[in-house]
């Protein structure tokens, strides 16, 4: 059965899973993002010296965002 409440949630720009607004963080573009996804993306961005926004980075899905 399809859960309509999930369909209305924004998707994380990193893992593409729904982000519950109660626990969402905001990326530099103002989009909802899982805190764990944002931290991983920031670490990868810093380690590689990349200049592109965190939301352009793609990572493996987190186990329990």
Domain boundary assignment for the chain: 8-56
Query: What pLDDT is attached to residue 37?
Result: 92
Query: What pLDDT is attached to residue 60?
Result: 47
Positions in the chain whose pLDDT score sits under 70: 1-7, 50-65
Query: What pLDDT is attached to residue 15?
Result: 93
Report the alpha-carbon distance of residue 45 to residue 57 in Å, rounded. 8
Nearest to 60 by CA among 6, 27, 1, 16: 16
Question: Secondary structure of the chain in the HEC alphabet?
Answer: CCCHHHHCCCECCCCCCECCCCCCEECCCCCEECHHHHHHHHHHHHHHCCCCCHHHCCCCCCCCC
Whether the model pTM is above 0.85:
no
Query: What pLDDT is attached to residue 17?
Result: 94
Query: What pLDDT is attached to residue 58?
Result: 52
């Amino acid at each position: 059965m399809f859960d309509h409440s999930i369909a209305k949630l924004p998707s994380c720009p990193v893992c593409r899973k729904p982000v519950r607004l109660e626990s969402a963080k905001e990326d530099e573009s103002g989009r909802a993002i899982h805190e764990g996804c944002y931290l991983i993306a920031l670490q990868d961005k810093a380690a590689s010296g990349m200049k592109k926004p965190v939301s352009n980075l793609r990572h493996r899905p987190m186990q329990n965002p």
